[in-house]
Structure 1
């Protein structure tokens, strides 16, 4: 038997040697044409102007081109670092490799506003993404006609001896025919920093300086994983431009374990596994053979030993341990109608199966769309149990969207208020798509009824508008008491049922607010026209940011005008700025919707005037001058109940216009309220772009 074992081991050894010879990895010299060239110097860094000791993935100067992807190739021209992307060259103003951010300025617009060749700013979106701090600036060239009153945004350029009129605009391009931008020959879009926007807002003639400040992009190296593996074996990360793939460089050659060498390593592992499996099979066969022989010899002894074994006492007999003992440690959840996710919950709400919601929305039929926001589209659906729901389908299923998804679920499930939308459930975060299921609010949004698709049915009476304001303020005050800031308060996020009762929705931008801090520092988010001006300047988010946004909502309720409308006069595009100007100039009657009966109903005139004064305080640029949301809600309720003290009523002097009322009224909720003779203040005027 020992002789048989030796034969088996010899056969296994021979098989292993053959496999090793067959699966030997290819040599490094045959891995790539580049491996035959000198690949040294990737341990050097690139320095030029403000950039010092720049390393992978960037190349340039002393760092040869094979030391990184071609998209990160830098040049140094007259002491300034430059990056070429497509047809454009950008001056690199700053580079932070720790944050993976880079500040760029177009060389053709650096200290220059007149282009010789028109080209929009475009970058490879898979590698470079604009930072949240960037805003779009559009340059309109060779404009044939412009408005008679020369805008501050005009600038001149000379082309072939001819001076042309040109125009620039920050943000979205308007459709206002007064600007006649459609009669400009060409437009070029360039991103700029928010700091440059603030500078241009203060002085419109500083366009050249704003362009020189450039813009910020975040970059992603698509070969980061391969580089990490290369560094793990002591190599230098590089790139083979001929084959368009990353390489790992050891000294002046491609590392044996990189590219095809890595394939050989895998093949070697497979060969070793197969050889080991063969040896194990042979040994197992030998063991089975010897075991059978041993059993034949000891069959009688084994049977005798079995007959003499001790029988367990009766007390030890009984049922086997039940698996139900383990199920008692599993929480019991309410039953879901979902087939696959039956019984599961997430933050205490039902987890729906994707297929169930797909059927409820008729495969997300476009005709069932209820609306679309910055993070997803909402569809009408009907569940199998008959419930009508609104299904929010997030645009992307990436890490950021999962965080957004979990944030909204966590916030909504811990809040209960009659004027907050109710969350029924969601899909699993590992689902094919991230879906949120809300109660269906059938009457659209406040924006729809004030100036949208439902406004044609007739204006909403003032007292209903006031009640809508009260319920919205109550909901926001409740959020603030719960240490939650909404961050996207607007009339499109205030839903209405058939009785015009309010349901505040869309907590996608909300954040839990720590109780031991006064603000949260974050990049500006929200909707243009509603965002706190101080938020743009210092990126500090507080509950007073919601107060500012609610002040814009109050202006919309009074005027039936949207927060931003590019069809209005350029000074009135921003409703907050327009409202402040009307109030300061004692022209409130020009702001109020005529359909409310402001000129004919004394009660409406008084209440709209008080609400306008409250909105004015909410729109103060300095957040410390704004009331709290709780004070706003209390003031609105006092206005509705007409609980104005006799002293305040005596000073109200209704004349042919609203000037006397605005000058003499003292707000009921705060002794520090600003009266009309103190309203004329630069700090009260919000920034508008």
Structure 2
């Protein structure tokens, strides 16, 4: 079996320079290289060592078949929102004279994937970018399904980003041709695939045959990941997910729900997200239906995209930025929203009592406090602060290097803000002394001025 060559050309080692390994998947490795004649960087996906050398290649190797299928599917699904294939590769990237490797030559996406950006930022993307990502993924999936293909592994690491953070779908190693257009409403495909956190409840049954509703469910979980800036179920292994997802468990929406009334279009997108991960495959909206929602939401935020791209680029390109900068979306209000929204604070969603407290006060206390006074405030109000502080991760990020990476992970892993505050108090605030507590006070005053005013009054 040979890799397809229609509309593409064969690329060999003599055409490439500056090759380096940039990623690895289930059966493939991805290299970045500069094509000498074309003058730009390309990505080359090859089989892992031992799968496709001429000396030990097995004609029916399932991995080699998958690579060929992926190339064919990329050609069939070629569009603006699906990764483009430039050609096929044959050469020796590993440098072993006895081995010949085969692969796919693709466009190189300079910003990596949604997953890699999330890991670098340690916070959600600005709303305009998040909403554009949601729309572009829906566009790519609509095109894919229109070609009677399913993706089968839709997740953050398979949504790649160019330097302007535009998205393209990648990794069709698990894609299969859907027969729904030929046979009936039963959209059968070849085999189960995908990452377990993005698999629908029905996929955990031994008799399950993947259909396009699989992708629709995965899109719902992907939307949650884009909006929250992290992976779902961080501590759950396969066995736990297999047990709980069919029982109705889904990612926690508490933090997202708090922001729905202040972020224009977020409520509609959250509703779409929840419909996509519905237990019943038949109730999940098609991607054409998804597009109606995502396009409408994106329209409300288009004017903010340029600034969002600049902000994220600046942060990613700055050293140690993920430790020192605050989260992008701590201010839910967007430039397109009215600034006269006087019922909801632009930092967080407040209770009626807290709103009244703000309205009754002229301003947050401006008295000068020493670090010792600030530390004393933080210690004396421990119980109350644990109960009422909601922007825990934003405040933790403000503390920067004062919170060690392992402590940051422990705080982030907690499911509720109350639990996060307890971890923060028992760890960094306890061991860091006056300096850390004073810094915490300053961050608290920045993110929760109404709380400081109330407790300090």
Report the TM-score when normalising by structure 2: 0.55
Residue correspondences, number = 284
Q: Which residue of 2 aligns with 1:360?
A: 17
**Counterpart Cα distance in 2 of 1:436 and 1:534:** 33
Q: Quick check: 1:564–1:573 contact (8 Å CA) kept in 2?
A: no
Alpha-carbon deviation of 1:531? 1.4
Does the 8 A contact of 2:178 with 2:189 survive in 1?
A: no
Partner of 1:391, secondary structure, is strand
Structure 1 residues 529 and 564, CA, compared in 2 at 3 Å: closer, same or farther? same
Q: Secondary structure at the match of 1:525?
A: coil
C-alpha change, 1:573 and 1:461, in structure 2 (3 Å) is farther
Deviation, structure 1 residue 657:
6.1
CA contact (8 A) 2:272 2:290 kept: yes
Residue 356 of structure 1 deviates from its aligned partner by 3.1
Residue of structure 1 equivalent to 2:107? 439
The alignment partner of 2:45 has SS state of strand
Residue among 68, 71, 77 paired with 1:409: 71
Look up the match of 1:369: 21
Q: Assess, with a 3 A threshold, how the Cα gap between structure 1 residues 575 and 628 changes in structure 2: closer, same or farther.
A: farther
1:534 equivalenced with 2:202 (yes/no)? yes
Alignment of 1:632-651 (within 5 A): 632-641=290-299
Q: Deviations over 1:243-263 (max 9, x none)?
A: xxxxxxxxxxxxxxxxxxxxx
- The equivalences for 1:155-554 within 5 A come to 346-353=5-12, 355-356=13-14, 359-362=16-19, 368-385=20-37, 386-395=39-48, 396-397=51-52, 398=58, 399-427=61-89, 432-450=100-118, 452=119, 454-456=120-122, 459-514=124-179, 515-517=181-183, 518-537=186-205, 538-554=207-223
Higher RCO (Cα < 8 Å, 6 or more apart): 2
What is the alpha-carbon distance in structure 1 between the residues aligned to residue 245 and residue 91 of structure 2?
Answer: 39
Q: Secondary structure at the match of 1:554?
A: helix
Deviation string 1:118-154 (CA, Å, 9 cap, x unpaired) is: xxxxxxxxxxxxxxxxxxxxxxxxxxxxxxxxxxxxx
Cα shift readout 1:454-486 (whole Å, capped 9, x = no counterpart)? 215x64201110001100110001100111111
Kept in 2: contact 1:552–1:615 (CA 8 A): yes
Offset, 1:443: 0.7
Asked if structure 2 preserves the Cα contact closer than 8 Å seen for 1:484 and 1:512, the reply is yes
Question: How many angstroms apart in 2 are the aligned matches of 1:532 and 1:572?
Answer: 10
Q: 1:497 to 1:557 in 2, by over 3 A?
A: same
Contact 1:524 1:536 in 2 (8 A): no
Task: Work out whether residues 21 and 32 of structure 2, in 8 Å CA contact, stay in contact via their aligned partners in 1.
Answer: yes
Q: By percentage of residues, which structure has more helix?
A: 2
Q: 1:521 to 1:478 in 2, by over 3 A?
A: closer
Distance 1:555 1:582, change over 3 A: closer
Is residue 47–residue 64 contact of structure 2 (8 Å, CA) maintained in 1?
no
Q: Using a 3 Å threshold, how does the CA distance of structure 1 residues 348 and 484 change in structure 2: closer, same or farther?
A: same
1:556-591 residue CA offsets vs partner (Å, 9 max, x unmatched): 0122221341279x98999979995677xxxx4335
Matches within 5 A, 1:27-66: none
User: Do the aligned residues in 2 keep the contact of 1:391 with 1:436 (CA within 8 Å)?
Assistant: yes
State the alpha-carbon separation in 2 of the partners of residues 618 and 360 from structure 1: 44
2:230 matched residue in structure 1: 561
TM-aligned CA deviation for residue 541 of structure 1: 1.4
Q: Deviations over 1:217-243 (max 9, x none)?
A: xxxxxxxxxxxxxxxxxxxxxxxxxxx
Q: 1:571 to 1:404 in 2, by over 3 A?
A: closer
Deviation at 1:429, TM superposition (A): 11
CA distance in 2, matches of 1:559, 1:579: 20
Please report how far the alpha carbon of residue 427 of structure 1 lies from its aligned counterpart in structure 2 after TM superposition.
Answer: 2.7
Q: Match of 1:118?
A: none
Instruction: Give unmatched runs, 5+ long, in structure 1.
Output: 1-343, 363-367, 593-597, 644-653, 660-689
* Cα 1:533–1:434 shift into 2, 3 Å: farther
Say if 1:533 and 1:400 are closer, same or farther in 2 by CA, change over 3 A.
Answer: same
Is the Cα–Cα contact under 8 Å of residues 83 and 168 in structure 2 kept in the other structure?
yes
Deviation at 1:508, TM superposition (A): 1.2
Distance 2:249 2:211 in 1: 22
Question: Is the 1:561–1:575 Cα contact (8 Å) retained in structure 2?
Answer: no
Q: What is the distance in 1 between the residues matched to 2:202 and 2:236?
A: 26
What is the aligned partner in structure 1 of residue 380 from structure 2? none
CA deviation profile, 1:654-675 (whole Å, cap 9, x unmatched): 989699xxxxxxxxxxxxxxxx
Give how far 1:382 is off: 0.7
CA contact (8 A) 2:191 2:210 kept: no
Structure 2 residue matching 1:506: 3-state secondary structure: coil
Distance 1:494 1:372, change over 3 A: same
Alignment partners' CA distance in 1, 2:217 and 2:175: 16
The one-character-per-residue Cα deviations of 1:44-90 (angstroms, maximum 9, x if unpaired) are xxxxxxxxxxxxxxxxxxxxxxxxxxxxxxxxxxxxxxxxxxxxxxx
Would you say the 8 A contact 2:4–2:72 is kept in 1? no
Query: Using the alignment, how far apart are the partners of 1:607 and 1:577 within structure 2?
Result: 29
8 Å CA contact 1:534, 1:540 repeated in 2? no
Is the 8 Å Cα contact of residues 582 and 591 (structure 1) preserved in structure 2?
no
Superposition deviation, residue 393 in structure 1:
1.7
In 2, the alpha carbon distance for the partners of 1:433 and 1:361 equals: 18
| Higher normalized strand content (fraction of residues) | 1
Q: Is the 8 A contact 1:564 1:575 kept in 2?
A: no
